[in-house]
Amino acid sequence: MSILLIVIAGLVVGAVIPSRWMLTAPIAIGAAALIGMAANGHGIADTPVPFLIVGATLAIGSGRFVRRRSPQAPLR
Protein backbone atom coordinates (compact mmCIF):
# COMPACT_ATOMS: atom_id res chain seq x y z
CA MET A 1 0.00 0.00 0.00
CA SER A 2 2.78 2.45 0.82
CA ILE A 3 4.44 1.81 -2.54
CA LEU A 4 1.20 2.75 -4.27
CA LEU A 5 0.98 5.96 -2.23
CA ILE A 6 4.58 6.85 -3.10
CA VAL A 7 3.90 6.33 -6.81
CA ILE A 8 0.71 8.42 -6.67
CA ALA A 9 2.55 11.18 -4.80
CA GLY A 10 5.30 11.07 -7.43
CA LEU A 11 2.76 11.46 -10.22
CA VAL A 12 1.19 14.45 -8.49
CA VAL A 13 4.56 16.08 -7.80
CA GLY A 14 5.66 15.55 -11.41
CA ALA A 15 2.44 17.04 -12.74
CA VAL A 16 2.46 20.06 -10.40
CA ILE A 17 6.12 21.11 -10.23
CA PRO A 18 7.56 21.96 -13.66
CA SER A 19 11.25 21.75 -12.72
CA ARG A 20 13.35 18.98 -14.27
CA TRP A 21 15.42 18.92 -11.10
CA MET A 22 12.54 17.19 -9.29
CA LEU A 23 13.73 13.96 -10.93
CA THR A 24 16.74 14.04 -8.60
CA ALA A 25 14.62 14.36 -5.43
CA PRO A 26 13.94 10.60 -5.00
CA ILE A 27 17.63 9.84 -5.50
CA ALA A 28 18.64 12.41 -2.88
CA ILE A 29 16.02 11.25 -0.38
CA GLY A 30 16.90 7.58 -0.92
CA ALA A 31 20.61 8.28 -0.57
CA ALA A 32 20.02 10.17 2.67
CA ALA A 33 17.89 7.30 4.01
CA LEU A 34 20.50 4.70 3.08
CA ILE A 35 23.34 6.74 4.60
CA GLY A 36 21.33 7.16 7.79
CA MET A 37 20.60 3.44 7.96
CA ALA A 38 24.23 2.55 7.36
CA ALA A 39 25.38 5.05 9.99
CA ASN A 40 23.08 3.46 12.56
CA GLY A 41 24.49 0.01 11.80
CA HIS A 42 21.37 -1.40 10.19
CA GLY A 43 21.72 -3.66 7.18
CA ILE A 44 20.51 -2.21 3.92
CA ALA A 45 20.30 -5.49 2.00
CA ASP A 46 16.65 -6.20 2.86
CA THR A 47 15.24 -2.72 2.31
CA PRO A 48 13.10 -1.72 -0.67
CA VAL A 49 14.81 1.69 -0.93
CA PRO A 50 16.36 1.10 -4.41
CA PHE A 51 12.99 -0.06 -5.75
CA LEU A 52 11.27 2.98 -4.22
CA ILE A 53 13.87 5.31 -5.75
CA VAL A 54 13.32 3.86 -9.22
CA GLY A 55 9.53 3.81 -8.80
CA ALA A 56 9.34 7.39 -7.56
CA THR A 57 11.67 8.64 -10.30
CA LEU A 58 9.55 6.96 -12.97
CA ALA A 59 6.38 8.32 -11.39
CA ILE A 60 7.72 11.88 -11.38
CA GLY A 61 8.78 11.48 -15.02
CA SER A 62 5.31 10.20 -15.88
CA GLY A 63 3.76 13.16 -14.06
CA ARG A 64 5.90 15.51 -16.15
CA PHE A 65 4.61 13.75 -19.27
CA VAL A 66 1.00 14.16 -18.09
CA ARG A 67 1.62 17.85 -17.42
CA ARG A 68 3.10 18.35 -20.87
CA ARG A 69 0.17 16.59 -22.56
CA SER A 70 -2.65 18.27 -20.62
CA PRO A 71 -4.43 20.98 -22.62
CA GLN A 72 -4.42 23.61 -19.88
CA ALA A 73 -0.72 23.34 -19.02
CA PRO A 74 1.71 25.52 -20.98
CA LEU A 75 4.38 23.71 -22.97
CA ARG A 76 7.94 24.13 -21.73
CA distance 18 to 69: 13
The span from the CA of 8 to the CA of 6, in Å, is 5
pLDDT of residue 72: 61
Looking at residue 71, its pLDDT comes to 61
pLDDT along the chain (76 residues), means of 10: 80 84 86 85 77 85 76 57
